[in-house]
Amino acid sequence: MTATHKTAIALTIAGSDSSGGAGIQADLKTFAVLGVYGASVVTALTAQNTHGVSAIHAIPAEFVAKQMEAVFSDLDVSAVKIGMLAQRDVIEAVAEGLDRYPGAPIVVDPVMVATSGDVLLEPEAEAALTSRMIPRATLVTPNMPEAARLLGTTEARNEDELCSQAERLMQLGPKAVLLKGGHRHTNEAVDILFDGSDLVTLRASRIDTAHTHGTGCTLSAAIAAGLAQGRPLIESIREAKWFVSAAIRAGMELRVGKGRGPLDHAGAGQLRWGHD
């Protein structure tokens, strides 16, 4: 008799990127490469390519709720990644859905502004994100501009300020914060993990490329994949950082679009099996 094991399932609740580099598409690629079954709840459609976002169509909150009900009532979801939520009523619908189906760890990527500078979260929705979504997070993964917006301050200028902002973000209610320092112009990409008691500095060599479309989505999805497989948080984060670096390196060989190109998830997967 063939032995069976539980299939790790991760759910992404996020927006769709029509060019395939970020959002739902990047999340599902990440889940698949990392050996996790991916389900999705689409919160918004974007007309988007490697140059930027030209239009956003928010999915009605009622339909977002229906998608969540369909997934959770049938699939045994082991982890949830939350990305672009766009509007306040969508945030409320997602929060209520998570309350109805509790238990799975939640990684919140507070998508507010795209790498291209396009705004992806309506201003009136920021308060709802802070009060309704972040307190539910097992981990919240803001980059430096997002952290500054959430805290109403300027971007961190050095590692000490990164640590201070990570500690302040914990006051919003998540179980842990991963403040991503990739926007700093240094030789290393330095992230700060804070769980309320310990500060952990995570370093990776900076890769000299402009083709980083979908980096934040891929990182948070990779962390969720690790959690879905039952890995500890710190192990999931370290593996996710390695995966993102590998996907950026592999993406340097892609020729997709005329602007900021995407990561190569499949290429990173090929490197990962050698890494393991």
| C-alpha–C-alpha distance, residues 165 and 155, integer Å | 9
Give the position of tokens 């996907």. 247
Q: What is the DSSP string of 9-35?
A: EEEEEEEEETTSSSHHHHHHHHHHHTT
* 3-class secondary structure, 229: coil
Q: Does residue 21 contact residue 212 with C-beta atoms inside 8 Å? A: no
163 classed as catalytic: no
Phi, then psi, of 16 in degrees rounded to 5: -95, 135
Which one of 15, 23, 50, 180 is the catalytic residue? 180
| 107 and 223 Cβ atoms separated by less than 8 Å | yes
Q: Is 180 a catalytic residue?
A: yes
**Options 30, 46, 215, 218, the catalytic residue:** 215
- Give the three-state DSSP class for 199: strand
Catalytic residue among 212, 218, 226, 261: 212
216 is catalytic: yes
215 is catalytic: yes
Which one is catalytic: 15, 50, 217, 241? 217
Q: DSSP label at 135?
A: G
**Which one is catalytic: 83, 182, 216, 267?**
216
Is 217 one of the catalytic residues? Answer: yes
In the residue annotation, 218 being an active-site residue is answered as: no
* CA-to-CA separations, 124 to 71, 75, 119, 120, 226, in angstroms, rounded: 28, 33, 12, 12, 33
Catalytic residue among 214, 226, 251, 261: 214
Residues forming the active site? 180, 212, 214-217
